[in-house]
């Protein structure tokens, strides 16, 4: 019977990145995907005629340009378009915008506080410094601090040298940054609520923590270390929705000879004598492979796809305790015209950026309070974009696709499963908030896709609907991601690897976990990695 060189479980962006690199190294690679389409959480689906949704992830910045280039993604249709920064609407009928132009940005902040307007440069400098420290780590395998292998020692030394290269002040700032709350971090620079709320949102997105929880400053950094074509920190829309990323990856994979089977849900990994031998599909079909790579999150992989008896106790316990809590939902809306926001001038570039309604740290924290109580936020935090203002491919002319990322949404409602009625209530909290700032909004709605953690887990397979496959807190980063001792994409089961966002350097449509896992696999196979670009220099 045929045995593939590698079987990738899950056709999300990391699974496909991993598959592409392995196939290009000369392996015969099969991707098995349970849905009838590939993409995982980076998909664009037409759920109502004429409208493409970015169903889960919706903006692009983190996806590594080295990967786009190695895998020739532009040739397969990937285009990322930078957009103007957005705004936070305030409850007094105003808004705070983020303009790309440095001086416009300052003047905008000065409308609220001249002091905060002039504090921005120092803030930007400090955040940039931290990004520059972390960026080079994204495309390297984290060292195992307990190992004495030369490679691990070398990597530890690299980390140590980088850290030692910092001044005493920077070192202190780095340690604080990795552990403190975004609220406290922003207090060191700004005094105005709406300005703090404007920056704090990057610290909570995708995280089951509030802006006042320790660890959220790092989450902000995670959202700043991307780029659009060298413009570090910038965000863009993938033309054709985020599915364009995985569509290009799938096309690149197939062009290099790879095989994708959709509608093929893996029931479990075939393990013989402690070694992965392939996968068994839900229908019972066995597919054999010399190695198996899981794009699924670490919980799904080891608690659902591998039998417990195959795993060491401590590993199993740590996987069970890995924090991968559901905290967000998504509402995708087809609109028959561009919504109007009376607070916003009609010619404002904000329409083309990300819009928010949470104008104080307290509102943001209160939204989190609801999550802790097992409710969706009555006054949710929204990250709302209308990509069709820049991307003509997602809706007919004059019509629009609006993406609303919604936080907080708990994995369970008061301890029980979400119901359809809950889902509708959750959607209403979102629509009501938008309608408050945009009269007539409801009348423009043509169709809506509402995704609570229940829908995201059921369709995409993300445990609890956690978008990062595990929270980005310091205890779950670098050599501790996903669990100590297994941060180098390998697992206790021989021949079974991990390549999803549960691994270093974590979530977001970055592709680095998939790429780094491929490098480790090829190293184990003693194959060349010359087709993999090293990380771009940070100079």
Partner 1 sequence: MNQQSATNPSGRIAAQNHFRTLRLGTPFQPRIDALARTRDWYNWAGYRAPHSLWDEELEYFAIRSQAALFDISPMTKYRIEGPDAEALLNRVTLHDVTKLKPGRVHYTAWCDDEGFVLDDGTLFRLSPTRFRLCSQERHLPWLLDSAVGFDVIVEEETEAVAGLALQGPTSFAVLRDAGFAGVERLKIFDLADFPHDGGTISISRTGFTGDLGYELFVPAGKALSLWDRLMTSGELRGIRAIGYTALNRARLEAGLIVANADFTTAEHAIRADRLRMPDEIGLGFMIDLEKGHFNGRRAILEARAKRKLRHVLVGLEIEGNIPAEHAIVYHKKAQEVGLVSAAMWSPMAKRNIAIASLARPYGDTMVEDLWVEIYAMRELQYQKLMKRAKVVARPFIKLDRRTANPPADF
Task: Say how many Å lie between the first and final Cα of the chain, rounded.
Answer: 51
112 is a site residue for partner 1 (CB under 8 A): yes
Contact map string, positions 315 to 354, toward partner 1, x by CB under 8 A: ------------------------------x-xxx-----
Q: Using the rule CB under 8 A, is 192 a contact of partner 1?
A: yes
Q: Which is nearer to partner 1, 110 or 338 (CB)?
A: 110
**Nearer Cβ to partner 1 (119/249):** 119
Strands 286-289 and 275-281: antiparallel
CA dist., res. 301 & res. 368, Å (int): 29
Q: Which of 256, 266, 315, 311 is nearest to 289 (CA)?
A: 266
Using the rule CB under 8 A, is 129 a contact of partner 1? yes
**Exposure class string for 342-359: b at 16+ Cβ within 10 A, else e:** ebbeeebbbbbbbbbbbb
Rounded least distance, CB 115 to partner 1, Å: 5
User: Which of positions 54-73 make contact with partner 1 (CB under 8 A)?
Assistant: none
- CB of 95: closest distance to partner 1 in angstroms? 8
Minimum distance between the CB of residue 92 and partner 1, rounded to whole angstroms? Answer: 5
The Cα 109–Cα 371 span in angstroms is: 31
x/- contact string, 75-104, with partner 1 (CB under 8 A)? -----------------xxxx-x-x-xxxx
Q: Is 275 helix (H, G, I), strand (E, B) or coil?
A: strand
> According to the binding rule CB under 8 A, does residue 529 interact with partner 1?
no
CB 35 within 8 A of CB 262: yes
CB nearer to partner 1: give 113 or 533. 113
**DSSP state string for 165-227:** TS-HHHHHHHHHHHHS-HHHHHHTT---HHHHHHHHHHHHTT-SS-TTSTTHHHHHHHHHS-E
Task: Name the residue nearer to partner 1 (CB basis): 96 or 251.
Answer: 96
Supply the minimum distance, in Å, between the C-beta of residue 535 and partner 1: 18
SS (H, E, C) 344-405: CCCCCHHHHCEEECCCCHHHHHHHHHHHHCCCCCCCCEEEEECHHHCCCCCCCCCCEEEEEE
Tell me how far, at minimum, the Cβ of 94 lies from partner 1, in Å.
5
Q: Which is nearer to partner 1, 99 or 235 (CB)?
A: 99
Tell me if 359 contacts partner 1 by CB under 8 A.
no
| Minimal distance, residue 101 CB to partner 1, in Å | 5
Phi-psi sector, 239: left (phi>0), alpha (psi -120 to 50), beta: beta
* Residue 107 C-beta: closest distance to partner 1, Å: 5
Nearer to partner 1, 356 or 454 (CB): 356
**Residue 162 lies near partner 1 (rule: CB under 8 A):** no
The residue (of 129 and 290) whose beta carbon lies closer to partner 1 is: 129
Site size for partner 1, by CB under 8 A?
38
**Binding window for partner 1 (CB under 8 A); candidates: 11-19, 162-170, 200-208, 313-321:** 162-170
Q: How far is the CB of 506 from partner 1 (least distance, A)?
A: 24
With CB under 8 A as the contact rule, the residue among 170, 265, 340, 362 that binds partner 1 is 170
Task: Quote the tokens at residue 276.
Answer: 């992965």
> What are the Cα distances from residue 514, in Å, to 16, 352, 356, 425, 489?
8, 31, 32, 37, 9
CB-side exposure of 215: number of CA atoms within 13 Å?
Answer: 14
Which of 92, 313 has the CB closer to partner 1?
92
Choosing from 48, 79, 82, 113, the residue that interacts with partner 1 (CB under 8 A) is: 113
What 3-state DSSP class applies to 126? helix
Token look-up 């070694």 returns 275
| Residue 10: how many other CB atoms lie within 10 Å | 30
**Residue 308 contacts partner 1 per CB under 8 A:** no
121 touches partner 1 by CB under 8 A: yes
**In whole angstroms, how far apart are CA 103 and each of 64, 95, 108, 236?**
29, 17, 8, 21
Task: Tell the smallest beta-carbon distance from residue 234 to partner 1 (Å).
Answer: 16
Q: Does 161 bind partner 1 (CB under 8 A)?
A: no
Segment (H or E) for 253 = helix 243-255
Q: By CB under 8 A, is residue 122 in contact with partner 1? A: yes
Least Å distance, CB 127 to partner 1, is 10
Q: In sequence order, what are the beta bridge partners of 382?
A: 406
In this structure, the strands spanning 354-356 and 87-89 are parallel
Regarding 125 and contact with partner 1 (CB under 8 A), the answer is yes
**Angle at CA of residue 459, ends 455 and 460, nearest 5°:** 110
Among residues 69, 107, 272, 317, the one that binds partner 1 under rule CB under 8 A: 107
Of the two residues 127 and 271, which places its CB atom closer to partner 1 in the complex? 127
- Part in contact with partner 1 (CB under 8 A); list of ranges 148-156, 161-169, 214-222, 376-384: 161-169
Residue choice 169, 308, 417, 537 for contact with partner 1 (CB under 8 A)? 169
Please report how close the Cβ of residue 163 comes to partner 1 at its closest, in angstroms: 13
Q: How far is the CB of 394 from partner 1 (least distance, A)?
A: 26
Sheet holding 275-281, edge to edge: 3-4, 286-289, 275-281, 266-272
Instruction: Give me the residues that bind partner 1 (CB under 8 A), please.
Output: 92-95, 97, 99, 101-104, 106-108, 111-119, 121-122, 125, 128-129, 132, 166-167, 169-170, 189, 192, 345, 347-349
């Amino acid at each position: 019977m045929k045995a593939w060189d590698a079987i990738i479980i899950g056709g999300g962006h990391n699974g496909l990145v991993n598959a592409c690199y392995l196939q290009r190294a000369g392996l015969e690679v099969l991707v098995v995907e349970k849905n009838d389409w590939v993409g995982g959480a980076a998909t664009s689906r037409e759920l109502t005629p004429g409208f493409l949704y970015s169903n889960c992830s919706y903006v692009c910045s983190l996806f590594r340009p080295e990967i786009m280039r190695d895998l020739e993604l532009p040739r397969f249709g990937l285009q990322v378009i930078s957009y103007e920064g957005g705004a936070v609407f305030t409850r007094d009928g105003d808004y705070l915008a983020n303009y790309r132009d440095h001086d416009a940005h300052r003047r905008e902040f000065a409308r609220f506080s001249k002091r905060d307007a002039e504090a921005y440069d120092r803030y930007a400098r400090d955040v940039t410094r931290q990004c520059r420290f972390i960026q080079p780590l994204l495309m390297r395998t984290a060292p195992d601090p307990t190992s004495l292998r030369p490679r691990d020692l070398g990597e530890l030394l690299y980390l140590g040298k980088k850290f030692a290269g910092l001044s005493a002040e920077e070192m202190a700032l780095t340690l604080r940054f990795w552990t403190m709350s975004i609220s406290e971090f922003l207090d060191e620079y700004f005094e105005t609520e709406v300005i703090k709320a404007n920056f704090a949102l990057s610290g909570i997105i995708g995280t089951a923590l509030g802006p006042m929880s320790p660890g959220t400053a790092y989450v902000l950094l995670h959202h700043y270390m991307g780029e659009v074509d060298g413009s570090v920190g910038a965000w863009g829309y993938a033309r054709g929705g985020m599915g364009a990323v995985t569509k290009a990856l799938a096309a690149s994979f197939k062009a290099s000879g790879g095989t994708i089977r959709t509608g093929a849900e893996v029931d479990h990994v075939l393990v013989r004598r402690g070694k992965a031998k392939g996968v068994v599909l839900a229908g019972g079909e066995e597919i054999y492979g010399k190695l198996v790579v899981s794009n699924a999150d670490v919980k799904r992989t080891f608690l659902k796809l591998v039998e417990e008896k195959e795993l060491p106790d401590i590993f199993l316990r740590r996987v069970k305790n890995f924090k991968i809590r559901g905290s967000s939902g998504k509402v995708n809306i087809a609109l028959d015209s561009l919504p109007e926001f009376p607070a916003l001038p009609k010619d404002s570039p904000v329409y083309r950026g990300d819009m928010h309604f949470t104008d104080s740290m307290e509102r943001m924290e209160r939204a989190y309070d609801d999550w802790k109580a097992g409710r969706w936020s009555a006054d949710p935090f929204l990250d709302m974009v209308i990509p069709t203002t820049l991307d003509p491919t997602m809706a007919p002319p004059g019509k629009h696709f609006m993406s609303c990322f919604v936080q907080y949404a708990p994995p369970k409602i008061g301890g029980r499963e979400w119901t359809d009625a809950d889902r509708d209530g959750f959607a209403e909290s979102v629509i009501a908030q938008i309608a408050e700032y945009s009269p007539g909004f409801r009348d423009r709605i043509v169709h809506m896709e509402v995704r609570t953690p229940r829908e995201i887990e059921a369709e995409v397979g993300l445990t609890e609907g956690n978008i990062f496959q595990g929270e980005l807190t310091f205890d779950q980063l670098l050599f501790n991601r996903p669990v100590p001792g297994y941060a180098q994409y390998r697992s206790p089961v021989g021949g079974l690897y991990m390549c999803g966002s549960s691994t270093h350097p974590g979530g977001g449509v970055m592709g680095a976990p998939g790429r780094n896992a491929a490098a480790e696999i090829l190293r184990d196979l003693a194959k060349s990695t010359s087709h993999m670009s090293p990380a771009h220099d940070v100079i």
